[in-house]
Amino acid sequence: MLVDNAVHGDSRVQKAARSAAAAGWHVTLLGRSPDGVPHEWRLGRAEVRLLPMGGPAGGTRGRRGRAASALGPLRGPVESTYTRFWSVVMRERAWRRLEPSLWQYERAYGPVVDALAPDLVHAHDFRMLGVGARAKLRAREQGRTVRLLWDAHEFLPGLKPWRDNVRWLPAHRAHEREYAPYADAVVTVSDELARLLQAEHGLAERPAVVLNAPDPPDGATGTGSLRQRCGIGPEVPLLVYSGAAAPQRGLGVLVEALPRLPGAHLAFVVNRPDGDYVRSLIAQAGDLGVADRLHVGGYVAADEVVPLLAGADVGVIPIEHWPNHEIALITKFFEYSHARLPIVVSDVRTMAETVRRTGQGEVFRAGDVADLVRAVRTVLADPARHRAAYDVPGLLESWSWPAQAEVLDRVYTALLPADRPRHR
């Protein structure tokens, strides 16, 4: 199993590795070391190994070894012309000119994958797709059969580029187009994304859907933990946002709403509580006179998320309109649901449609502070009505990881011959 991160904080990858190993598959999860030092540990029966990249993580180094940081921002007419030229001339191979740093993943992961000699490579997301495909091809040259499962977390054409340059998205799209045909099966996170991927890459079969659903709570309520973090009692209205902190996630509108929600507190459970963006939100809260009602904390372990969130009154998803935000129920949606929180969500299509159908919360216009305040007040006025949606038989069970693990296990089983032992 391959992933382009340090595994910590990636609940989908952790759950996939742990549940596959529990089902009898021999799982080695390879991730990227954040500090250039190898790390090893276990997730249940799965082995985790973090590999040094041999260069700046995510940096770009060309054929002559010049670091991207020395080249300055890759924007403007010259860069646009450069990008278009190589995209036309090299087509799906253009990433070799536009984003040669992708070779760093091959150098770090490739030899380790070959040494493991796997029967199946489960490649998470678009960067690992190339690593997995090349491992499959090398195995074929050696007379071994390796199956490749591509786990597509995002629809790349609808993704906001991770770096502010014109090359990033065309390069990664070209890389994905080159290696998608080598996938023996594809799984993804929503029905809509499955449809888009099939059309984008001409897939013979619609990808199976494995939702980003959490493990069901183990019975511990955790109702005090979040409030203890915030230093407030059970009578104080508490809103929570859990997830990545980035401008497109719309967190600013939550801070702007606080002055219009007297007495309510807001908790951020985010990946980078000391990052520049979060610090700007704290400063904004100070300017608005509500700093004492904003509480910021970091992530907790995956199995602690739902009990932690259960201490809030409302789970908020204020994300802005980006193509990928429209097409899936995201991880925090399911986590809020298992915490039995009423959900206030912006009018991104799939989540808004679901909330309106189930009655588990309210929808507001993305970026509209007044409409957000209306939605929050509506929920706080009658939370029991919204929580009742979770009593519908089978709803939370279908949104839990055990149901998704069964789908993944069926995909694995279909890819490997029936006489192949599960656990080597």
Contact 241, 251 (CB under 8 A): yes
- Determine the pLDDT at residue 163: 83
Structure tokens at 166: 């014109």
Contact 355, 345 (CB under 8 A): yes
DSSP-derived pairing of the beta strands 39-43 and 46-51: antiparallel
Cβ within 8 Å of residue 343, ≥6 positions away: 314, 315, 316, 317, 333, 336, 337, 351, 355, 360, 361, 362, 386
Alpha-helical runs (H) found in 346-421: 349-358, 369-381, 383-387, 395-398, 401-415
Find, among 315, 297, 333, 298, the residue nearest to 380 by Cα. 315
* Distance separating the N- and C-terminal Cα atoms of the chain: 15
- Three-class SS state of 290: coil
Task: State which amino acid sits at residue 363.
Answer: V
We find that the CATH architecture of domain 225-398 is: 3-Layer(aba) Sandwich (3.40)
Contact 301, 180 (CB under 8 A): no
Find, among 91, 119, 122, the residue nearest to 16 by Cα. 122
* Helical (H) or strand (E) element with 204: none
* Helical (H) or strand (E) element with 308: helix 305-309
Radius of gyration of the chain (CA): 22
Which DSSP category does 143 fall into?
T
In the chain, CATH 3.40.50.2000 covers 11-213+403-415, 225-398
Q: State the Cα–Cα distance between residues 315 and 393, nearest whole angstrom.
A: 22
- Three-class SS state of 345: strand
We find that the CATH architecture of domain 11-213+403-415 is: 3-Layer(aba) Sandwich (3.40)
Predicted TM-score (pTM) of the model is: 0.86
- Determine the pLDDT at residue 63: 34
Cβ within 8 Å of residue 197, ≥6 positions away: 152, 155, 186, 188, 203, 207
Q: For the beta carbon of residue 177, count every other beta carbon within 10 angstroms.
A: 17
From first to last of its 424 residues, the chain has per-residue pLDDT tens of 999 999 988 889 999 999 999 999 999 999 999 999 999 999 999 999 999 997 544 443 333 333 443 448 677 889 999 999 999 999 999 999 999 999 999 999 999 999 999 999 999 999 999 999 999 999 999 999 999 999 999 999 988 888 888 999 999 999 999 999 999 999 999 999 999 999 999 999 999 999 999 988 775 544 458 999 999 999 999 999 999 898 989 999 999 999 999 999 999 999 899 999 999 999 999 999 999 999 999 988 878 899 999 999 999 999 999 888 899 899 999 999 999 999 999 999 999 999 999 999 999 999 999 999 999 999 999 999 999 999 999 999 999 999 999 999 999 999 997 655 555 4
Structure tokens at 196: 């888009």
Q: For the beta carbon of residue 221, count every other beta carbon within 10 angstroms.
A: 13
Q: State the Cα–Cα distance between residues 282 and 262, nearest whole angstrom.
A: 18
